[in-house]
Amino acid sequence: FKVGRQELPKALSPFAYSEDWNVFSNTYNAALVVNTDLPQTTLVGAFVRDYNWVSPAMQALTGKLSMNNFDDPITDDDGIWLLTAQNKSITDLTLTGTYYHANDAIDILWADAQYNAGFANLGLQGGAIMPDAAGSDDTNAFGAKISGKLDIVNASLAYSHVNDGTTPMLNVGGSTSVLYTNTVANQLVPFMDIDNDKFALNANADVLGGNLSGTYAFTSDNATSGDDTNEFDLVYSAKVTDCLSASLAYAYLSDDDLSVDNVNVIRAVARYNF
């Protein structure tokens, strides 16, 4: 049992989780219970009420409060209820199902399957966001991912589709989503995961005393601009000492319908743990 301000994991809370790309992770006021009595099964129940907003870019887009406001309520004062079941009874297969409910506001269903096939890891995901407001349309999404390792290089190819529903696929209190195709642009630029198809190709390796990662992503009919978007990301992270870690990220976006044709974004983060 855990009650109070806390971080929530993406694997078990895919629409209200703590993102670790910023200097500090966003957190939640929540009551959480985890049970592992059933063989190879994890059951999670939670009530999540307040959060702080992790992304300045998404702040500007949505008008949400800043990261030092810890009492921004989810769906007014009602909060949101969560139930997750994860099972690993079948060798090399992890199945996860999640249901969220907020009174008179929204229901969310989400499922994820991860399979280690030996030569590669395979992933499938999908679900729906179902708002209760009159005139609102459900947002349906699904994704697929294949990943593997060749020598020191880890590589993956992911695809996602989101229909033109009312609510974008976004983490509460964050700027990313549970979709396999999330990239640096989702963290730093206010792009909405809605009404588009996206492909993301990634490769990373432990080199130069840290980890170097490169990603190319293509989004068709980006909901923010209405045009296709090409993205290239380069991220380097390293543990400098036992207490000090650092990361440097660069993202380049090309989209003819943005206010400028090309966008260059740089993020540098250093963390010192006492």
Sign of CA dihedral 273, 49, 73, 71: negative
Sign of CA dihedral 19, 20, 25, 27: positive
Q: What string of pLDDT tens digits covers the 274 residues of the chain?
A: 999 999 999 999 999 999 988 888 889 999 999 999 999 999 999 999 988 876 655 555 555 556 777 777 777 667 899 999 999 999 999 999 999 999 888 999 999 999 999 999 999 999 999 998 878 899 999 999 999 999 999 999 999 999 988 888 888 888 889 999 999 988 877 666 788 899 999 999 999 999 999 999 999 876 665 678 899 999 999 999 999 999 999 999 987 665 556 888 899 999 998 8
The pLDDT of residue 64: 56
Query: Which phi and psi angles does 188 have, rounded to 5°?
Result: -115, -20
Residue 141: both structure tokens together: 């999404």
Could you count the other beta carbons within 10 Å of the beta carbon of residue 185? 25
The pLDDT of residue 241: 93
Annotate 43-70 with b (16+ C-beta within 10 A) or e (fewer).
Answer: bbebebbbbbbbbebbbeeeebeebeee
Residue 257: both structure tokens together: 């319908």
How far is CA 160 from each of CA 20, 86, 169, 254, 257, rounded to the nearest angstrom?
22, 22, 11, 20, 22
Three-state DSSP state, 196: strand
pTM score, two decimals? 0.90
How far is CA 171 from each of CA 64, 142, 193, rounded to the nearest angstrom?
13, 16, 11
Q: How far apart are CA 45 and CA 168, in angstroms?
A: 24
Cα 34 to chain centroid distance, Å, stands at 22
